[in-house]
Amino acid sequence: SKSPSPRPDMPVRYFIVKSSSLQNIAISQQKGVWSTTPNSERKLNTAFWESSVVYLIFSVQGSGHFQGFARMASEIGCEKSQDWDSARFGGVFKVEWIRKESIPFQFAHHLLNPWNDNKKVQ
């Protein structure tokens, strides 16, 4: 499905997406798609339709780095991907990568998340 038209009166949403492997990030960067768990699907689809834009900030678990960020470019559908190594993932959705770079968490330690007890963003 298509991205909703720009809605400047709607909020911008940000999500940190934890990946189990760097290979999944590489696949996403090559193909412009992502897949997540069913619980996250509901949150992301809601944000996609209720926000002007949804940014996804990617990090591989245990890496201590962000691997880049992308814009969510479609809602999450029912079609599954054979590219990912886990059967627990749901449908595929399009992402448009904005920046592909490894950035240490320490560069973002000044950012605190008020919706997560003001913990550091990582």
Distance CA 24, CA 50 (A): 27
CATH at 23? 3.10.590.10
Distance CA 14, CA 21 (A): 21
Which range among 7-11, 48-52, 88-92 shows the weakest confidence by mean pLDDT?
A: 7-11
Asked if the structure places residue 31 within a domain, the reply is: yes
Nearest to 66 by CA among 9, 114, 25: 25
Number of domains making up the chain: 1
Q: What pLDDT, in 10s, does the model give residues 44-64?
A: 999 999 999 999 999 988 887
Q: Which domain holds residue 81?
A: 12-120
Which range among 4-18, 29-43, 100-114 shows the weakest confidence by mean pLDDT?
A: 100-114
- Calculate mean pLDDT across residues 98-121: 69
Asked if the structure places residue 54 within a domain, the reply is: yes
pTM: 0.81
Asked if the structure places residue 7 within a domain, the reply is: no
Q: What pLDDT, in 10s, does the model give residues 103-112?
A: 766 766 666 5
